[in-house]
Structure formats: structure tokens, C-alpha cells
Amino acid sequence: MLDRLAELETAVSYITLAPDGEPSFTYQPGDLPILISAPHATAHQRRQRLKGEEEFTGALAQFLAETTGIHALFSHYRSLGDPNWDRDSPYKQRLREIVQDNNIRFVLDLHGMSNKYKIGLALGTMNGRSCPDHESLILQTVEKQLQPTSQTAAKKFSTLRWDHFVLNHSRFTGGLANYTITRFASQQLGVPAVQIELCSSARVVERRPLDKWPVPFRGQPEAIQQTMDLLQALVNAVLATT
Ligand SMILES: [Zn+2]
């Protein structure tokens, strides 16, 4: 799985703009009525400021789609705007078409956050509003998948634990006050949605070396495996309700 993720990620162009006439995102059709979205897989611009790619969210979305048969939409080239933040964006328009054409019943919106928050996984449901009928099912699934190895260790958040998760952390609510994909799907399209934020350790197979950081960063292989198991379990849990 790690090799395949690395291969899929190589095809994502973080900084290059799309060739003329092509969109900055790619849609990979599926057979099942669920969509995984990764709007920040490449660099993007929010209020004139260039924001970095959330590495491996594009690869994880593609891999999840490949292994489960769901639909995937992910940024593929650098975006001139912010597909998640902008009120309207070509990405959101495409998402609307995919949802309508395929009778999509649930949207998983995948993001990456820094390890600095010491949280492995943050789920944003707009305090329950983006998926009222699914929130408890999602929580049960996450709890089952991420059983902490030791209860005492789980309570100590001084170090990053990728099996530690939070729901509606003040930074990652899924969009109470801004125009996120989660909010767009649930409020404008009427499709329940959840925002999933993964720390670097639980998604980055290997970061391309950077000038400021010549030794490549590597996530934890077990954590990445656990991420994939969790995403697949979420797809199965949601499918069972559709
Ligand atoms: Zn993001």
C-alpha cells in the first residue's frame, strides 16, 4: 500500500499550474454513491497568500477510491484560488455535478494538518449539523478502529498520538463560519458530509526533500495503514445506511 500511495502522489503536481484548458482537479468515477474529496492536495491561494499542499491527501483519496469503488475528486495541479475556502469555485461546481449525476449520498472531505497540534485525527461535522443522521455511527466506527493501545497513554497528549482523535476541535469544525466543502455539500447540496483532518505522521509516506529540510520527513507506516483501514471502515459504515 505504501508503494502505491507514493506512486499515486508522484502524479500530483503541487506547484505546477494545469495545462491550458484543463481543470486543476481530477475526477475519478466510481460505482458506489460515496465521494471522497481532497481539495488541498496541491498548493492553493487564499486571499493572495500561497498555502502549501496537504501532502498525500490526493494519494489517499485515489487509493481509497481504487480499493472501495467510491468516487474521488482531488486537486491535481496548483489552484489559483482555494477550492475549500472560496464561496464558489470550479472545484465546488464539479462536485455539485458529480453529486447530482451519481446520486451521491455522502461526502468525505479529506485534509491534512500539521503534527504540531498533537492530534492524530480531527473530525469536523459543524457541531453535528453536517451529518446529523451519521455522526454517532461515524464516532462508533472511529472508536472501534482507533483503539488506544493503553488507556493511560491515550490520556497523555504531550506527544503526538495518531490514535488520538477529536471531534469538532475549535480549528477543525468543518466550517461553521466559512465556506468549506463540508458546509457546501451538506447545506447547498443536501448531502451529509464530514471533514477529516489527518496529521502528517498518519498520511505522509515520504515528503520530497526541501531546501530548508533536506532530510525527507517520513510518516509512521502503521499510522498510515491505520488511516487507510479507518477510511475503508467509514465507507463501509456509511454504505450500510444508504
Ligand atoms: Zn485543508
Q: Is the pLDDT of residue 149 over 60?
A: no
Q: What is the mean pLDDT of residues 187-197?
A: 97
Q: What is the pLDDT of residue 211?
A: 67
In DSSP terms, which residues pair with 26 in a beta bridge?
74
Percentage of the chain lying above the pLDDT 70 cut = 93
Give distance in angstroms: CA of 54 to centre of ligand 1.
Answer: 6
Q: What is the pLDDT of residue 182?
A: 97
Residue with the bigger pLDDT between 218 and 156: it is: 218
Given a cut of 80, is residue 195 above it in pLDDT? Answer: yes
The reported pLDDT for the residue numbered 139 is: 94
40 CA distance to ligand 1 middle (Å):
5
What is the Cα–Cα distance from 3 to 16, expressed in whole angstroms? 23
Q: How close is the Cα of 144 to the center of ligand 1, in Å?
A: 25
Mean residue pLDDT of the chain comes to 91
Three-state DSSP state, 202: helix
Q: How confident is the model at residue 74 (pLDDT cuts 50, 70, 90)?
A: very high
Report the separation in Å between the CA atom of 152 and the middle of ligand 1, taken as the mean of its atom positions: 31
Distance CA 224, CA 72 (A): 19
- Between the CA of 70 and the centroid of ligand 1 the distance, in Å, is 21
**Rounded distance between C-alpha atoms, residue 179 and residue 46, angstroms:** 12
pLDDT surpassing 50 at residue 153: no
183: pLDDT strictly greater than 90: yes
Q: Spell out which residues have Cβ within 5 A of ligand 1, the ion.
A: 40, 54, 111
Angle value at C-alpha 32, between 24 and 164, nearest 5 degrees: 75
Distance of alpha carbon 225 from alpha carbon 60, whole angstroms = 11
196 alpha carbon to ligand 1 midpoint, in Å?
Answer: 9
- Whether residue 88 has pLDDT greater than 80: yes
How many CB atoms lie under 10 A from the CB of residue 147? 9
CB hemisphere CA count around 205 (13 angstroms) = 17
What count of residues does the chain have?
Answer: 242
Q: Report how far ligand 1's centroid is from the alpha carbon of 198 (Å).
A: 10
The whole-number pLDDT of residue 152 equals 46
Q: Are 41 and 58 in contact (CB under 8 A)?
A: yes
- pLDDT, one tens digit per residue, over 35-45 is 999 999 999 99
Which cell is 136 given?
454517532
The tens digit of pLDDT for each residue in 159-177 reads 677 778 899 998 899 888 7
